[in-house]
């Protein structure tokens, strides 16, 4: 993985534009939407920047080639969050994530509570998925044990034949 590039914005760009703009400094085309997001992040906090691994330097291991870097003086620079190409398509969510985690606007207790609620919601969804899978398995087992759909001595499912 090569050194990340820093995305900066060109004047006169429109937020949400899907075009690409030639960046002579990086010697590649850069998404206008990414440049707009970089500007918003920098405007929110001048020590935050959007960095990335240039497309030509990426390999299969670069599943999240973008990142938000915090270079606040007095602290060593660190990556706040890695971002995939898919996540970069939703800049509102990224900006909301930065705002929701900012202790200038929210107490540490509020941030932790929100994270716990998100984890509980994810667990509830996973439990529901598991419950539905178990019900499907139980239904298939009951059908097989009852002799199959045609009440014969076999049952076919997904190209496989099950005998009683």
Mean per-residue pLDDT, 145-164: 65
- Could you tell me the residue range of the domain that residue 35 belongs to? 5-106
Q: Answer yes or no: do 63 and 26 share one domain.
A: yes
Q: Do residue 72 and residue 129 come from a single domain?
A: no
- Nearest Cα residue to 103 out of 119, 80, 130: 80
Asked if 121 and 101 sit in the same domain, the reply is no
Do 96 and 153 lie in a common domain? Answer: no
- Does 143 lie in the same domain as 65? no
Higher local confidence (pLDDT), 116 or 33: 116
Same-domain pairing of 28 and 71: yes
The residue from 60, 79, 106 where one domain ends is 106
Domain identity same for 88 and 58: yes
Residues 117 and 145 both lie in one domain: yes
Query: Residue 24's pLDDT is what?
Result: 55
Are residues 48 and 85 both part of a single domain? yes
Mean of the per-residue pLDDT values for the chain?
A: 76
pLDDT band (50, 70, 90) for residue 162: low
**Residue 118 shares a structural domain with residue 91:** no
> Considering the chain, what percentage of its residues have pLDDT values greater than 70?
70
Q: Which two tokens stand for residue 90?
A: 């939703």
Kindly tell me the sign of the dihedral angle through the C-alpha atoms of 87, 88, 89, 94.
positive
Both 48 and 91 in one domain: the answer is yes
Report pLDDT for 149: 55
| 25 and 79 both lie in a single domain | yes
Least confident of 7-16, 22-31, 44-53, 84-93: 7-16
């Amino acid at each position: 993985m090569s050194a990340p590039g820093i995305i900066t914005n060109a004047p006169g760009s429109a937020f949400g534009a899907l075009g690409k703009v030639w960046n002579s400094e990086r010697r590649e085309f850069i998404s206008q939407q990414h440049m707009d997001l970089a500007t918003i992040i920098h405007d929110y906090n001048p020590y935050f920047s959007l960095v990335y691994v240039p497309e030509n330097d990426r390999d299969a291991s670069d599943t999240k080639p973008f990142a938000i870097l915090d270079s606040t003086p007095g602290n060593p620079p660190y990556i706040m969050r890695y971002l995939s190409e898919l996540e970069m398509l939703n800049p509102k969510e990224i900006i909301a994530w930065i705002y929701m985690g900012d202790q200038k606007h929210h107490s540490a207790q509020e941030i932790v509570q929100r994270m716990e609620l998100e984890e509980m919601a994810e667990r509830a969804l996973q439990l529901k998925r598991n419950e539905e899978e178990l019900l499907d398995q139980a239904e298939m087992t009951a059908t097989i044990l009852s002799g199959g759909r045609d009440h014969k001595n076999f049952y076919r499912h997904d190209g496989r034949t099950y005998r009683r």
